[in-house]
């Protein structure tokens, strides 16, 4: 396993949320488009954009308020979205919230243990978590940066307009959850908090034909993780709705169950007809984190059961343990080029915080030799040359 450190530089004026938490301490997804790196923090309502500024360095931090582009479900503009997946396709940046419920966290050192035990029984819903949306993403030819727009002319189809849109929903649900409420596998888990093996989205990949692949951290059913396949389309009111998928057992979505050694999905990335998966524990605990390749994921005509012999475990990602338990949890994975992925970590250790407003991410080599050549010929979502400098 070969890895190289990357330094991510954040702007001090943009780094802290309203509660004083630094964006580098809660990274949940990362995506590369050209020379830009897009990141999200699960306790914010913003998207962060960095730019390649040197060998293995990203900086020039820019922050976008999502409320400027989307109609967030919550009346509280500052309520976190819990963004857990980013994807890019056909001049749009796609994002998805966790769609999960949240159990309150007790304080074991509090003077009133009974009160803290009672907190463990409190489960809450946050409307902004129920978000599946797209925002026009266009490259500025003057700066080379990719920029977000609420509305913009289509760059290659005269007369067509790109528009921000989101899946139809309310303050406590949306079209996807309404469908899943009747699902025999996932329906029973919708009311269970995400960190209790309840329904919890983490990971998003966009296929060239507009299909979305949504990874579930939970539930994991008898060791089988789940990826949902969706096809959103714009309705006459400018909202997104789910179209029927040929071959789907449940009409509007396909279910793909994968044997990932009992782990759930933490991130998804499309590379040609394959999907790369970052997998890790579904519960709130330290455990194995690994990167898998799912060959031919985009070509399956119906719901599927993908056994261990049909996925390739590429490498394991180090994580916190012992004195660093609960830290360095791999959450985000971006394709740097055809050969390398960049892994970003939630709750980074102090050694990753090389300076104020900086954090270290790691690049890993995917494959060598003929496998790499084959993947380059198939194509993928990353545009641009190799930037890692790994040999």
How far apart CA 73 and CA 128 sit, in angstroms, is 5
Query: Do 249 and 260 contact (CB within 8 A), yes or no?
Result: no
H or E stretch at 34: none
Residue 168 dihedral angles phi and psi, to the nearest 5°: -60, 140
CA separation, residue 81 to residues 40, 66, 214 (Å):
10, 9, 16
Q: For residue 48, what pLDDT band results from cuts at 50, 70 and 90?
A: very high
Query: Do 220 and 264 contact (CB within 8 A), yes or no?
Result: yes
Average pLDDT, the chain: 91
Which residues make Cβ contacts (< 8 Å) with residue 200, sequence separation at least 6?
84, 98, 99, 100, 194, 216, 217, 218, 264, 282
pLDDT in the model for residue 373? 40
Q: For residue 70, what pLDDT band results from cuts at 50, 70 and 90?
A: very high
Query: Do 162 and 149 contact (CB within 8 A), yes or no?
Result: yes
Greater model confidence, 391 or 295: 295
How far apart CA 103 and CA 125 sit, in angstroms, is 9
pLDDT at 68 over 50: yes
Greater model confidence, 247 or 17: 247
How far apart CA 98 and CA 84 sit, in angstroms, is 6
Over pLDDT 70: what percentage of the chain?
93
How far apart CA 192 and CA 333 sit, in angstroms, is 26
pLDDT in the model for residue 378? 40
Nearest CA-CA partner of 51 in 21, 10, 90: 10
Which range has highest mean pLDDT (273-282, 363-372, 382-391)?
273-282
Lowest mean pLDDT among 122-131, 134-143, 177-186, 206-215: 122-131
Over pLDDT 90: what percentage of the chain?
82
pLDDT at 374 over 70: no
pLDDT in the model for residue 2? 79
Q: For residue 368, what pLDDT band results from cuts at 50, 70 and 90?
A: low
Radius of gyration of the chain, Cα coordinates, nearest whole angstrom: 20
pLDDT in the model for residue 242? 98
Largest CA distance in the chain: 66
C-beta pairs of 303-309 under 8 Å, 24+ apart in sequence: 303/247, 303/248, 303/249, 303/254, 303/255, 303/256, 304/254, 304/256, 304/257, 305/224, 305/257, 306/256, 306/257, 306/258, 306/259, 307/259, 308/259, 308/261
- What's the mean pLDDT in 165-189? 96
Number of H helices, E strands in the chain: 3, 28
How far apart CA 376 and CA 48 sit, in angstroms, is 28
Which range has highest mean pLDDT (37-41, 105-109, 380-384)?
37-41
Domains of the chain: 3-378 (2.115.10)
pLDDT at 376 over 70: no
- What's the mean pLDDT in 173-191? 97
pTM of the model: 0.92
DSSP 263: P
How far apart CA 150 and CA 210 sit, in angstroms, is 19
CA separation, residue 16 to residues 75, 133, 302, 316 (Å):
22, 24, 44, 31
pLDDT in the model for residue 320? 81
The size of the chain, in residues, is 391
Query: Do 204 and 212 contact (CB within 8 A), yes or no?
Result: yes
Query: Do 110 and 116 contact (CB within 8 A), yes or no?
Result: yes
Residues 214-266 have pLDDT tens digits of 999 999 999 999 999 999 999 999 999 999 999 999 999 999 999 999 999 99
Which residues make Cβ contacts (< 8 Å) with residue 67, sequence separation at least 6?
45, 77
DSSP 167: B
Query: Do 10 and 358 contact (CB within 8 A), yes or no?
Result: yes
pLDDT at 370 over 70: no
Specify the pairing of strand 146-148 against strand 151-153. Answer: unpaired
pLDDT in the model for residue 18? 74
How far apart CA 287 and CA 366 sit, in angstroms, is 21
Residues 311-322 have pLDDT tens digits of 999 999 988 878
């Amino acid at each position: 396993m070969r890895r190289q450190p990357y330094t991510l530089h954040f702007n001090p004026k943009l780094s802290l949320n309203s509660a004083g938490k630094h964006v580098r301490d809660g990274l949940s997804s990362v995506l590369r488009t050209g020379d830009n790196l897009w990141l999200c923090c699960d306790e914010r309502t913003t998207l962060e954009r960095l730019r390649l500024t040197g060998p293995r360095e990203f900086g020039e931090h820019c922050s976008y308020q999502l409320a400027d582009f989307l109609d967030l479900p919550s009346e509280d503009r500052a309520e976190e979205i819990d963004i857990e997946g980013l994807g890019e396709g056909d001049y749009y940046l796609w994002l998805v919230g966790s769609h999960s419920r949240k159990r309150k966290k007790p304080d074991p050192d509090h003077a009133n243990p009974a009160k803290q035990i009672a907190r463990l029984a409190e489960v809450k819903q946050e409307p902004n978590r129920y978000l599946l949306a797209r925002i026009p993403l266009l490259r500025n030819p003057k700066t080379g940066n990719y920029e977000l727009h609420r509305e913009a002319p289509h760059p290659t189809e005269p007369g067509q307009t790109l528009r921000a849109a989101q899946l139809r929903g309310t303050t406590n649900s949306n079209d996807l959850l309404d469908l899943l409420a009747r699902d025999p596998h996932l329906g029973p888990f919708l009311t269970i908090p995400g960190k209790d093996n309840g329904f919890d989205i983490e990971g998003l990949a966009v296929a060239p034909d507009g299909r979305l692949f949504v990874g579930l951290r939970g539930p994991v059913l008898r060791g089988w993780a789940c990826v949902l396949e969706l096809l959103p389309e714009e309705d006459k009111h400018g909202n997104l709705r789910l179209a029927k998928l040929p071959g789907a057992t449940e009409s509007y979505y396909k279910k793909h169950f994968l044997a990932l050694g009992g782990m759930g999905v933490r991130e998804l990335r499309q590379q040609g007809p394959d999907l790369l998966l970052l997998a890790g524990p579904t519960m709130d605990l330290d455990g194995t984190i690994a990167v898998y390749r799912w060959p031919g994921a985009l070509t399956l005509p119906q719901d599927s059961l993908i056994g261990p012999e049909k996925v390739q475990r590429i490498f394991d990602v180090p994580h916190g343990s012992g004195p660093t338990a609960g830290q360095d949890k791999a959450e985000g994975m971006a394709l740097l080029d055809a050969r390398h992925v960049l892994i970003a970590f939630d709750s980074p250790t102090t050694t990753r915080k090389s300076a104020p407003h900086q954090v270290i991410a790691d690049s890993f080599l995917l494959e060598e030799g003929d496998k790499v050549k084959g993947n380059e010929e198939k194509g993928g979502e990353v545009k641009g040359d190799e930037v890692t400098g790994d040999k």
